[in-house]
Amino acid sequence: MIAPGRAKRPGAAQPVLDPPSPDELAVCPFCAGHEEMTPPQTLVLPEAGDWQVRVVPNLYPALERQEVVVHSRRHIRSIAAASDEELELVADAWRRRTADEPGNVFPLVNEGRGAGASLTHSHSQLIWLPEPTSELPSPRGEIVLERDGIVVTCPWAARVPYETVIAPFEAETDALTSPLLGVALQTVAALVRRLQELEGQVPLNVWLERSKADWRLVLFPRLNILAGLELGPGIFVNTLAPEEAAARLRGG
Ligand SMILES: [Zn+2]
């Protein structure tokens, strides 16, 4: 349900973050030099020299196996601040951990406390689910952009402002063997940079949906707090039309 009258500019009052405090840096287990603060790594990339991306078991797994992929050795607080090179390595880390431990791997990014992140240093999680996720409906929406084999759309049925789908232009069977995964993550980072220009520091979730026939990343900004109407009957009152969201993401 699109109800643009409810808010002219969703989230326009989101504050810009202060730089990290010395305390935040001192206790961050994901910064280079703090490797002893995490369980032993399951993978680092590159394998020789200074690591750029590091994978460690999640200390508090909700499911049987859950791992954290640290996106940078630098203390960056958003995927938007990760370099293209780092994101290519993140894609490689997702690929390699899935190849080493096959299963129904569900990769996701929680960014900002309002989106469920408990640590500020940019990271993703790999969660081995007991069952495969369900089949994907075909995505239809307003095209934001196309680049390097990837198409970005704001779905007609967007549940929240700026919900965006990042998918291969031609359907592919598996993201976790696809050479396009790195480009897809770089595209997510570029979209988040644009989103931050528009709305400030926005909590957000990103996840990978996979089926036998197709895959896509979903970028789900958390400008609105989800409440009973969303969580109960699943009725999302979106204050920003997808056409308008696509135009704003395109601009600039
Ligand atoms: Zn850090």
pLDDT given for residue 174 in this prediction:
86
Cα dist from 41 to 30, 51, 71, 125, whole Å? 11, 11, 14, 14
CATH assignment of the domain containing 227:
3.30.428.10
89 C-alpha to ligand 1 centroid (Å): 18
Distance (angstroms) between ligand 1 centre and the Cα of 27 equals 8
**Ligand 1 centroid, distance to 215 Cα (angstroms):** 30
Q: What is the pLDDT of residues 1-11, one digit of tens each?
A: 787 665 555 55
Domain that holds residue 195: 20-250
Look at residue 161 and tell me if it is in a domain.
Answer: yes
Ligand 1 centroid, distance to 182 Cα (angstroms): 22
- Residue 9's φ and ψ, nearest 5 degrees, are -140, 90
The answer to whether residue 10 sits within a structural domain is: no
What are the tokens at 22? 């010395």
Domain presence at residue 8? no
Answer yes or no: are the C-beta atoms of 192 and 78 closer than 8 Å. Answer: yes
On whether residue 189 sits in a domain, the answer given is yes
Residue 83 resides in a domain: yes
Residue 68 pLDDT: 97
Residue 82 lies in a domain: yes
Distance, CA 112 to ligand 1 centroid (Å)? Answer: 14
Stretch 96-112: mean pLDDT = 95
Ligand 1 centroid – CA 234 distance (Å): 36
Tokens standing for residue 57: 């078991």
- The average confidence (pLDDT) of the chain is 91
Residue 251 Cα to ligand 1 midpoint, Å, equals 32
Å from CA of 230 to ligand 1 middle: 33
185 neighbors 91 (Cβ within 8 angstroms): yes
- Looking at the structure of the chain, the number of domains it has is 1
CA of 23 to the centre of ligand 1 (A): 11
Residue 14 resides in a domain: no
Q: How far is ligand 1, taken at its centre, from the CA of residue 64, in Å?
A: 26
- The span from the CA of 19 to the CA of 76, in Å, is 10
Q: Is residue 3 part of a domain?
A: no
Q: Is the pLDDT of residue 45 over 90?
A: yes
| In the predicted structure, residue 59 carries a pLDDT above the cut 70 | yes
